[in-house]
Structure 1
Amino acid sequence: MSSTPTDARLMDGSGLARRLVEETAARAADLTRRTGTPPCLATVLVGEDPASVTYVRMKRARCEKAGIRSRHVELPATTTTAEVVATLEGLSNDPEVHGILLQHPVGPGIDERAAFEAIAPEKDVDGVTFSSFATMSFGLPGFVSCTPGGIMRLLDAYGVDPAGKRAVVVGRSAILGKPAGMMLLARNATVTYCHSHTADLSAAVREADILVAAVGRPRFIKGEDIKPGAVVVDAGYNPGNVGDVDFDTAVTRAGLITPVPGGVGPMTIAVLLAQTVDAAERQLA
């Protein structure tokens, strides 16, 4: 990463995530003492995609450090949708499992939405089901998608109040772009969604007081399009450890910006662990 030549401040997701995991570990230890049962997160991995294998291994290691028991289920790449659904339904009905994570993407042969919907809402600690999206959208108790949840915690930690701000979300995936926009809307931002069919994307980006880049294209957002002083949240992670924003040019205009890596990524796992303990507390109450 190049040096930061202007007054743009980096939003340190690694440090904030570390503090959240420490708080989560304390809650997990307290729950275990009170109930005799540690929180348990079940991870399900279909196939052997190297990135997914690494990511699941990382999540399980973080679970162990936070005092959360991890149960891992590996399914071959030839697994059918029905078999994945049956596995997730079994975990949903297991009282010893408090949270469930289906590592995604699951591969072209699986109906991912059908698989997600097999996860019981009270165990959907990754915030991927219809139920979780609805409760989040209506501001009701439930679980948020972890990456947008981490983004909101970052904004709060750096004193960014979305109320009255113009927020632009570039990307509209069901577990990142869409929920990020809904969470900003719930905090009284005026939200614009942009995507591959948006006409004159640069013009929309230039209006953003808060920009969330979640399009999955390396250095897609150029620095010259960043509004001076804007808050730039880069939720992209592409080969070569680069985000969706051209950091080197954006940092000369932004007021606050997340680095890649070390910004949004660590917060995603931290929120997953926190929501696992939330789920366990509710189920063991």
Structure 2
Amino acid sequence: MILLDGKALASTIEKDITNEGSKLRNQGIVPTLAVVLVGEDAASCAYVNMKVKACERVGIKSIAKKMPENVSEEELLKIIEELDKNEEIDGILVQLPLPKHINTKLVLEAISYQKDVDGFHPFNIGRILAGIEAFAPATPLGVMNLLKNYNISVRGKNVAIIGASNIVGKPLASLMLNAGATISVCHILTQDLAFFTRSADIVCVGVGKPDLIQADMIKEGAVVIDIGINRLENGKLVGDVAFESVSKKASFITPVPGGVGPMTIVSLLQNTLLAAKNRKIKN
């Protein structure tokens, strides 16, 4: 069994981003990411802080817009419009989830697709589905880059994706399909989940349920990508995979933490750098 070390790979990619960003700054382009946070949700605040610190490490300028929980949808849309019109801002990220009184789809569509470094705009989603270059959501992009770095080809492989969210499962399925994999997308209504996972060469899971994937649910030598992150009552962070038992059967497996998480953050930085490069070309 080989650990897929996302933390180490992310660190290497960050060095490349730092160098590329330095070249852009020398040409008068300062890569800039605007992060919008609504409310005081502890997890959301932690994620935003991680993204801001990551920007600092690689020399990407970050602008944090923090608003109260009761901000109106109209006011939030106005702020996004202002950020969108600012030609010195390359990427805009709205931290999810948003409060229930705000239409999330409306907010995400308010960001122009050229600045949608989260890859959630329908335009970018459609291009990814069609196999055309676009901003891919950070977690699926991180998964694909992690597999590529370890020379794990998905071409001709059976891939089971557990979780069909718009943020992870669906876009990951598109990227896998574009790369030549045969895809099974499983979700809460799927009957006999193990039927799909046992026949898969690669299992990707991200639903937020500790120990969902057990050793008897995967075949010998499978590649296991644990995208889930859960905090137990004792404070320990775990994924959706029963790591101790599954790791004995897997050929490759991601740890939690230190696997997909760091790759998600660095993929966001890669998208922001790409947006800055696109601004340079446009100018």
TM-score, with length taken from structure 2:
0.96
Aligned residue number for residue 242 of structure 2: 246
Aligned residue number for residue 100 of structure 1: 92
Aligned residue number for residue 88 of structure 1: 80
Select which of 274, 278, 281 maps to 2:277: 281
Aligned residue number for residue 272 of structure 1: 268
Q: Deviations over 1:193-235 (max 9, x none)?
A: 0011101111111111011101121111112111110110000
Does the CA contact (< 8 Å) of 1:99 and 1:276 recur in 2? yes
Aligned residue number for residue 38 of structure 1: 30
Does the CA contact (< 8 Å) of 1:124 and 1:143 recur in 2? yes
Select which of 10, 19, 28 maps to 1:17: 10
Does the CA contact (< 8 Å) of 2:212 and 2:242 recur in 1? yes
In structure 1, distance between residues paired with 2:124 and 2:240: 26
Aligned residues: 277
Aligned residue number for residue 255 of structure 1: 251
1:224 aligned onto 2:211: no
In structure 1, distance between residues paired with 2:184 and 2:73: 35
Shift in Å at residue 61 of structure 1?
Answer: 1.0
Aligned residue number for residue 176 of structure 1: 168
Shift in Å at residue 93 of structure 1?
Answer: 1.1
Letter in 2 for 1:123: K
Moved more, 237-246 or 142-151: 237-246
Select which of 125, 129, 132 maps to 2:117: 125
Gaps of 5+ in 1: 1-7
In structure 2, distance between residues paired with 1:230 and 1:107: 39
Aligned residue number for residue 204 of structure 1: 196
- SS at structure 1 position matched to 2:183: strand
Shift in Å at residue 89 of structure 1?
Answer: 1.8
Q: Deviations over 1:235-265 (max 9, x none)?
A: 0011131101111111011110000000000
Matches within 5 A, 1:142-161: 142-161=134-153
Aligned residue number for residue 3 of structure 1: none
Shift in Å at residue 81 of structure 1?
Answer: 2.2
Letter in 1 for 2:8: G
Does the CA contact (< 8 Å) of 2:29 and 2:276 recur in 1? no
In structure 2, distance between residues paired with 1:264 and 1:229: 20
Aligned residue number for residue 109 of structure 1: 101
In structure 2, distance between residues paired with 1:82 and 1:252: 52
Select which of 162, 179, 186 maps to 1:187: 179
Aligned residue number for residue 57 of structure 2: 65
Does the CA contact (< 8 Å) of 1:122 and 1:279 recur in 2? yes
In structure 1, distance between residues paired with 2:202 and 2:106: 33
Q: CA RMSD in A?
A: 0.9
Does the CA contact (< 8 Å) of 1:89 and 1:120 recur in 2? no
Letter in 2 for 1:151: V
Q: Identity, % of aligned pairs?
A: 40
Aligned residue number for residue 26 of structure 1: 19
- SS at structure 2 position matched to 1:172: coil
Gaps of 5+ in 2: none
In structure 2, distance between residues paired with 1:184 and 1:169: 10
In structure 2, distance between residues paired with 1:82 and 1:225: 47
Shift in Å at residue 95 of structure 1?
Answer: 0.5
Shift in Å at residue 146 of structure 1?
Answer: 0.3
In structure 2, distance between residues paired with 1:192 and 1:167: 6
1:138 aligned onto 2:146: no
Moved more, 260-269 or 107-116: 107-116
Letter in 1 for 2:25: T
